[in-house]
Structure 1
Amino acid sequence: MTIDVEDYFQVSAFANHIPRESWSHLACRVEANIERILSLLNGRQIKATFFTLGWIAERYPKMVRQIADEGHEVASHGYGHLRASEQTKSEFFNDISSSKALLEDISGKPVLGYRAPSFSIGSENLWALDVLGQAGYRYSSSIYPVVHDHYGMPDAPRFAFRPRGEDGILELPVTTARVFNRNLPAGGGGYFRFFPYAVSRWLLRHVNQHDRMPGIFYLHPWEIDPQQPRQTGIPFKTRFRHYVNLHRTETRLQALTRDFSWGRMDHIFLTSK
């Protein structure tokens, strides 16, 4: 179970509509949403991995400490939600190193994992995985083996692999189910909100039972917040993707935590390494 800790105004789809310099002037809702998620997870005795933006951690250190103190893994989502594919090697190194140090200082725990904003590591910038290793990360969850207009590496392996060789970093793709020779997204995001919950449940069970592999699911705090400020002047597709079924997400998440067993990324994938 993974949570990408960012606020509604930081999503990549809004980048051309909400100036980055305006972020500090906008009302943040992440604290309240994370509190609801923590309450749900703790009620089910589930430990999760929280891929957290440095920008958020800097402003809400108490929230990050609470995540760590309650037994969840704190991992990095970079500092300011910049796509890995839009940075140079040196810029990327500075981004992931600074966010790692910040999160470790606040949480008091080592930060082993990283997820690129918008799954922005793919065939054109696999060098980013080398840089992650140089910065001290143990694993990445940044390659999504699907066809998508904003991200995706559809030919990548569907389960844990080391793209840069046995000495390279471990990559843990968000889960897809192989159905009719096609990778179907099974790990959350907009697909979890768009399709009925039964679809996500079937796909994850297919992976567990047919592939006999664990599933990796992700959610954003803003996805359980139908009261978030609505943006105007954005394209229909962007508006639809962001706002569809927000009012149903929390109930679906409750069902997901009931229907499957969940744990932290590091405990599941690194303990035997």
Structure 2
Amino acid sequence: MVVASTRYNALTVDVEDYFHVAAFDTTVSKQQWPDLPQRVVRNTEILLQQFEVHQAKATFFILGWVAERFPQLVQKIHAAGHEVASHGYAHAKASVQSQSEFLQDIQRAKALLEDITGSPVTGYRAPSFSIGKSNEWAFATLQQAGYLYSSSTYPVVHDLYGTPDWPQQPYKRTEGIWECPMPVLNKAGKQWPIAGGGYFRLLPYWLSKKCIDSYLKQSDSPYMFYFHPWEIDPQQPRFASAPFKSKFRHYTNLDRMEAKLVRLLQDYQWRSIREVFQPYFV
């Protein structure tokens, strides 16, 4: 196997099920979640196998709702040497919660994950990158809850999130917590989203790879990639009543994602945020 880059980059997985995604907030209620077919264990275990084959380590931002129901999955992730981090408990956007609600959510998730693994949980990612100018208090709240870093901002223009005028490199906030924003490619006077997720699924692999390589040439910071376990699962149940845009974003190329992910694992070397960004955190 020929590795295109020996530079370590950060691999991250937002561990949630297909029905948790914000795109289906108006289609599926939280009360329905327990009664829906659960696919997250199957899909995450496939990822763990692929990561082992390709000697990749990752940060798993695990939803507390998932951890509470499948603690053995969390233990398996931890035992395999990956970083266990928090995705909050109930997949509520930070931007729609009050400060007290947010604190309760992130404390509950952190305590749950630490009880399962027996190890400190220091990282957090907000659902839908939902920390921005309207709720900067979230950083102080995360620091209060005992987190070391957040990876909750994306410096792009997007219809659902985005902090285009915020820093593009890891930086320590005045609140005392580190923020590791998602990477963007600066080209033609614009900031292009290249961090994975739906863009990686929708675009051809050669284009994603070209963007990653360009980023590695122009940036001193490590590259960071993110995706979800449901993205490798074309057999997941479908919500026919969901809005067209939501269905297009969620279901397109599910059948191609795992093969593209394997190519990504082969072409680059991957480690957790805790390892890759450790020089920043000291």
Instruction: Give the TM-score taking structure 2 as reference length.
Output: 0.94
Distance between the aligned counterparts of 2:242 and 2:34, measured in 1?
A: 21
3-state DSSP of counterpart to 1:104: helix
Q: 2:102 aligns with which of 87, 92, 95?
A: 92
* Structure 2 counterparts to residues 195-210 of structure 1, below 5 A: 195-210=203-218
CA shift, 1:232, in A, is: 1.0
Q: How many residues align?
A: 271
| Partner residue, 1:51 | 61
Partner letter of residue 218 of structure 1? Y
3-state DSSP of counterpart to 2:271: coil
| Segment of structure 1 superposing worse, 199-208 or 80-89 | 199-208
CA shift, 1:208, in A, is: 1.1
CA shift, 1:271, in A, is: 4.8
Residue deviations 1:36-80 (CA, integer Å, cap 9, x gap): 100000111111000000000000000000000000000000001
Partner letter of residue 157 of structure 1? P
**Is the Cα–Cα contact under 8 Å of residues 207 and 214 in structure 1 kept in the other structure?**
no
Partner letter of residue 246 of structure 2? T
> Are 1:74 and 2:102 counterparts?
no
Q: 2:123 aligns with which of 108, 113, 122?
A: 113
**Is the Cα–Cα contact under 8 Å of residues 5 and 50 in structure 1 kept in the other structure?**
yes
Q: 2:261 aligns with which of 237, 253, 264?
A: 253
Residue deviations 1:10-36 (CA, integer Å, cap 9, x gap): 000101100110100011000010011
Q: 2:165 aligns with which of 147, 155, 162?
A: 155
Instruction: Give the TM-score taking structure 1 as reference length.
Output: 0.97
Distance between the aligned counterparts of 2:35 and 2:242, measured in 1?
A: 20
RMSD: 1.0
Residue deviations 1:97-147 (CA, integer Å, cap 9, x gap): 110000000011110000000000011111101100000000000011111
Distance between the aligned counterparts of 2:265 and 2:168, measured in 1?
A: 23
* Structure 2 counterparts to residues 1-273 of structure 1, below 5 A: 1-162=11-172, 164-165=173-174, 168-271=176-279, 273=282
Partner letter of residue 31 of structure 1? V
Distance between the aligned counterparts of 1:81 and 1:170, measured in 2?
A: 21
CA shift, 1:159, in A, is: 1.4
Distance between the aligned counterparts of 1:61 and 1:144, measured in 2?
A: 30
**Is the Cα–Cα contact under 8 Å of residues 3 and 51 in structure 1 kept in the other structure?**
yes
Greater relative contact order (CA < 8 Å, ≥ 6 in sequence): 2
Distance between the aligned counterparts of 1:175 and 1:59, measured in 2?
A: 32
Structure 1 residue runs without a partner (length 5+): none
Runs of 4+ in 1 over 2 A off after TM superposition: none
